[in-house]
């Protein structure tokens, strides 16, 4: 028996990395998990792992910056599983290492389209099901919003917008029994890995800030934190951000 038996979850950007770890952690607690990713092969690989864990999975390939594609994805989930109980907005793309003065409109569109706009699209599309059922939303943000990162203006701005959207939704949707929370993870994402390869001194500096001097694991650390916020023990937790970063500021 898992804490999420019978629940239906959507995890965006779960074709690999942090999203895959989150999806698998939810599946191991009994949730049926839909993986939405622009990388269809990655989404299918995650679903294979979910099914090996004994849960039901569905892979959807979609450009989540397109509201019509998001609506279609949610409709497909409801057609397959009947509802949506848990929404995890993990996906985020951005062009890294770009000086602020050189940021283009396309860079802004990429970061905000896959980040806060996609979060909004999924939250809006899932709302009718969340309010009539279980109702959990977990959005991924970043400690880098406060720290700032040279060359990552669009990324940190997008993550900041996700935090603001989440706080507003928590205020508005609490009346419907929906909780909306964020996680700021300390985990080696592809973007962070690229940054550290280009800036090895930053890697040493970040590890030095951690009370637990290691990087988080996508499934056992970040995924389990999502399981908590998605589970029954967090029914009175909303509008907050959980930092899962080993006790240190981290470029997540």
Q: How far is CA 22 from the centre of its chain?
A: 8
Distance in angstroms (rounded) separating the CA atoms of residues 189 and 81:
30
Which residue do the tokens 């779960």 mark? 14
Q: Is 43 helix (H, G, I), strand (E, B) or coil?
A: helix
φ/ψ bin of 131: left (φ > 0), alpha (ψ from -120 to 50), beta (otherwise): alpha
Q: What are 242's two structure tokens?
A: 């959980």
Q: Which of 121, 129, 152, 155 is catalytic?
A: 155
What's 113's DSSP letter? H
Closest CA to 86 of 186, 5, 187: 5
Closest CA to 82 of 47, 133, 135: 133
- Could you confirm whether 152 is annotated as catalytic? no
Q: What are phi and psi of 220, to 5 degrees?
A: -75, -20
Positions annotated as catalytic residues are: 155
């Amino acid at each position: 028996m898992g804490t999420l038996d019978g629940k239906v979850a959507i995890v965006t950007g779960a074709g690999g990395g942090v999203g895959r770890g989150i999806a698998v952690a939810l599946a191991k607690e009994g949730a049926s998990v839909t993986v939405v990713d622009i990388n269809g092969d990655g989404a299918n690989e995650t679903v294979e792992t979910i099914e090996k864990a004994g849960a039901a999975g569905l892979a959807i390939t979609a450009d989540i910056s397109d509201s019509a594609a998001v609506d279609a994805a949610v409709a497909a989930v409801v057609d397959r599983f009947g509802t949506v109980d848990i929404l995890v907005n993990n996906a985020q793309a951005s062009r890294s290492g770009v000086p602020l003065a050189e940021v283009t409109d396309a860079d802004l569109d990429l970061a905000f389209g896959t980040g806060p706009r996609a979060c909004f699209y999924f939250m809006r599309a899932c709302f009718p099901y969340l309010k009539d059922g279980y109702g959990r939303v977990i959005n991924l943000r970043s400690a880098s919003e406060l720290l700032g990162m040279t060359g990552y203006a669009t990324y940190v701005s997008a993550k900041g917008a996700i935090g603001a959207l989440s706080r507003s939704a928590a205020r508005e949707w609490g009346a419907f029994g929906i909780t909306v929370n964020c996680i700021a993870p300390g985990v080696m994402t592809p973007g962070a890995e690229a940054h550290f390869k280009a800036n090895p001194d930053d890697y040493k500096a970040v590890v030095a800030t951690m009370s637990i001097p290691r990087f988080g694991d996508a499934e056992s650390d970040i995924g389990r934190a999502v399981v908590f916020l998605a589970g029954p023990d967090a029914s009175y937790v909303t509008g907050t951000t959980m930092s899962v970063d080993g006790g240190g500021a981290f470029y997540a």
